[in-house]
Amino acid sequence: MSFFGDLIAGDAAAKASNYNAALLDRDAKLKEQQAEQGYKVFEQYDLPRFDYFAEKQRGALETSFAGAGVEFSGSAYSLALENQIMVDTDRDMMQYNAEIARDQGINDAIMQRAEANVERYRGRVAKTASYFRAASSLLTDASTVGVI
């Protein structure tokens, strides 16, 4: 009797889809956590380290000017200004890359959750389709027996 087989198959398909969706949700959460953790590493380690070395470089440049007896004006000032612009540009690029990496991870998580929702929908459709197949099977069986 395919009536019960259809119902069992539909229920199994729905359970498999829900399991797959749960795995996708878990992966999405991991991607979000990795994205946020990567950005925190940037904020708490990479950026302060960059600032430390940039300040150290600036100090060394000023010390070398002072040690050489160069006034901090004219070309020396221009060199220091150019150096500061390069440091600021590098800092901005680091910030941009860290934000892009974080946002990419969050977008990947969003896509995983959307895929999980599609998987759940597939399970519901499979279960509903199994009800229709089961009903069709009952009608077919009933018509061959002559009940209808």
Provide the token pair at 93: 């690029």
Q: State how far the Cα of 142 lies from the Cα of 136, in Å rounded to an integer.
A: 10
Domain count, the chain: 1
Q: Which domain holds residue 38?
A: 2-145
* Residue 121 identity: Y
Note down pLDDT in tens along the chain; length 148 residues.
577 787 788 888 889 999 999 999 999 999 999 999 999 999 999 999 999 999 999 999 888 888 888 777 788 888 889 999 999 999 999 999 999 999 999 999 999 999 999 999 989 888 888 888 888 877 776 677 665 5
Return the closest-CA partner of residue 52 out of 81, 20, 87, 27: 87
